[in-house]
Amino acid sequence: MQSDIQIAFIGSGTMGEAMISGLLANKVVTADRIIASDPIESRRLYMQQTYAVRTTSDNTEAFQGTAIAVLSVKPQVLTALMPTLRGKIASNTLVMSIVAGASIPSLSQGLNHAAIVRAMPNTPAQVGMGMTVWSASPEVTEVQHSYTKTILQALGEEMAVSHEQDIDRATAVSGAGPGFVFLLIEAAIDAGVQMGFTRAQAQTLTLQTIAGSVELMRQTNEHPTLLRNRVTSPGGATAVGLYQLEKAGMRTAICDAVFATFERTQKLGNFN
C-alpha cells in the first residue's frame, strides 16, 4: 500500500481502534495518514494521545482527500449517518463498512456511492488474531482490492468471498464465535474451581488446553474427529466426558446457536 494514502475512520470505537492499532503496529501507514471521526470529545482526545492520529467531529471533513473511508459505527447510527454523507464522497474513494448487517446494496444506495467493501471482523482482531470475511461491489478496482487485503491482514487473517450472503454466514461462525468460545471457557474454569483448583489455575489450564488444541489442529491439518479419537481411550475418562456432552446435546446446541445467529444477522440487514 502507498505510504502516503489517507485512511479515515468514521467512528473510533472498539473495532475502529483495533483497526487503527493494527495498521500502525504493522507499519501499513503512519499516524499522520489516519483521521478518526468521533462525536465524543473525550474519545477524540484519547485517540490523539494514544495513537497520535488526527481527529475530527465532522464526518464530511474526515472524507476530504481520503482514499479509503472505514465505516465503523453501530448499526443504529448508520441509518442517520448515511444521509449526511450522501453525495459528498469522491467517486474514487473506497468505502469499507464493518457495520453488522449492512448490505452492499443498502450502503451503495444510502451513500449514493459505488465502490463499497463490506467486511466482518471479529473481536480477536483487537490482538491481531482476528478473522475477517469480506466482499466487494463490482466497482471496486484491483488496487482497492489490494488495499483491502492489506488493511484486513493487519487484524489477523482475511477471506474474500464472491457472494455477499457468505458474510452473514461467516458472522454466525467467526463473528459470534468468540462469544460461544468464551462461554465454553467460562464453564470449564467454573468446573475446575468446583473441583478444587484456584480460579487462576483453572483459567491457565483451560486457556492453554484450548490454545494447544487449536495449534495442534493447525499444524497437523487433520480432521477434528481423528484428533478427538486419539485422546479418547475405550472406557476411559475422556470417553465418559464426551458421552455426557453428547447426551446433553452439545453438538446440536452449537449448530442451533450458529443457525440462529445467521437468521438474526439476516434480519439486521433489512434496515436502510
Please report the domains of the chain, with CATH numbers, ordered by start residue.
7-163 (3.40.50.720), 177-268 (1.10.3730.10)
- Averaged over 179-192, what is the pLDDT? 98
Torsions phi, psi for 93 (to 5 deg)? -85, 135
9 alpha-carbon distance from chain centroid: 15
- Averaged over 27-38, what is the pLDDT? 94
Evaluate whether 5 touches 147 at the Cβ level (below 8 Å).
yes
For strands 130-136 and 116-120, give the pairing: antiparallel
- Give 127-138 pLDDT, tens digit per residue: 999 999 999 999
At residue 272, the pLDDT reads: 42
Least confident of 161-165, 255-259, 263-267: 263-267
At residue 101, the pLDDT reads: 80
Residue 262 to residues 77, 170, 171, 242, 268, Cα–Cα distance (Å): 22, 8, 7, 27, 10
At residue 76, the pLDDT reads: 86
At residue 1, the pLDDT reads: 66
The residue written with cell numbers 485422546 in the block is 231
Residue 271 confidence (pLDDT) above 60: no
What's the pTM value of the predicted model, to 2 decimals?
0.87
Which residues fall within 8 angstroms of residue 267, CB to CB, at 6 or more apart?
101
- Averaged over 93-117, what is the pLDDT? 94
Evaluate whether 26 touches 3 at the Cβ level (below 8 Å).
no
Torsions phi, psi for 90 (to 5 deg)? -60, 145
At residue 87, the pLDDT reads: 87
At residue 265, the pLDDT reads: 81
